[in-house]
Amino acid sequence: MTQPEEECRRRFRAAVDVIQSLPKNGSYRPSYEVMLRFYGLYKQAVFGPCRSSRPGFWDPVGRYKWDAWSRLGEMSGEDAMTEYVEEMKKVAQEVIDSVPVNKKTA
């Protein structure tokens, strides 16, 4: 593995660990859209392109998850890892920006 690939993998692992260790309920409530975006990128990065068949009518959550993953098509694992990390930085920045200024300086 080349050095940039290793670096990309390391950053991805760190981002995954952060997200897995967040409490389920906290002051920040990710939207379904955000959760699905992370989900699709995670699956693509770890398992590669989605090859399973789309869940049926009785599994709407499964269908949303499947759609989020399969939408990424043949995106490479490395690109998915990079996007996952970028997405996390973006969301983290949004969370920081949403903190009222007086709380930031307190």
Given the rule CB under 6 A, which residues bind ligand ST9?
A: 16, 19-20, 22-24, 26-28, 30, 34-35, 38-39, 42, 65, 88, 91-92, 95
Helix or strand (DSSP H, E) at 82: helix 77-98
Q: Which residue is nearest to ligand ST9 (CB)?
A: 26
Cα–Cα distance between 45 and 9 in angstroms, integer?
9
- As measured in angstroms, the least distance from the Cβ of 105 to ligand ST9 is 19
Rounded CA-CA distance 60/74 in Å is 24
- Least distance (Å) between residue 82 CB and ligand ST9: 14
Instruction: Please enumerate in sequence order all residues whose Cβ is within 8 A of that of 76, keeping only pairs 6 or more positions apart, or say none.
Output: none
13 or 76: CB nearest ligand ST9? 13
